[in-house]
Structure 1
Amino acid sequence: MNKEYLTVGELSKKMNVTVRTLQYYDKEGLLTPSSMTEGGRRLYSSKDIIKLYQILSFKSLGFSLEDIKERVLKMDTP
């Protein structure tokens, strides 16, 4: 596995969130993994980590997930 990516378990430990939270964010379209393994495991890049920081910051300020979806900066630009 390419080490520029983190698995959902590695990311959950690094960011102190549950795997279930990351799965839910993916289901809701809030944090989609950058890649997937052939077996369907989610893989997260450094851009995904930055986006998760944004999500968690907004969440700590009391924003709803719907509000966060509208406010998270797009990471598509270099």
Structure 2
Amino acid sequence: MRRFSEAWPDPSAIRQRPIGELPWGHVIEILGKLDDQGKHDWCAATDVHDPCGLSVQAHQITTHLHEREAAAPTNFSSTRDSRA
């Protein structure tokens, strides 16, 4: 609980953030394997948006999915603009 309160010190923000919607096991996994607030928030938001099992979440964290997705090239904006 102490690590949880240190990671999210503002109690009113817990319900406003995706972390408040995750099962406790997922929260423990995020806190145990990541030490950066931005990564905590990214993993929580990703898991809320696209729910997965605990073992899948652990694998995504271990394989640095947050880094790979951020570096992935995308043509979304050019494709979207050309269809308008």
Q: TM over 0.5: same fold?
A: no
TM-score in terms of structure 2 length: 0.41
Larger-Rg structure:
2
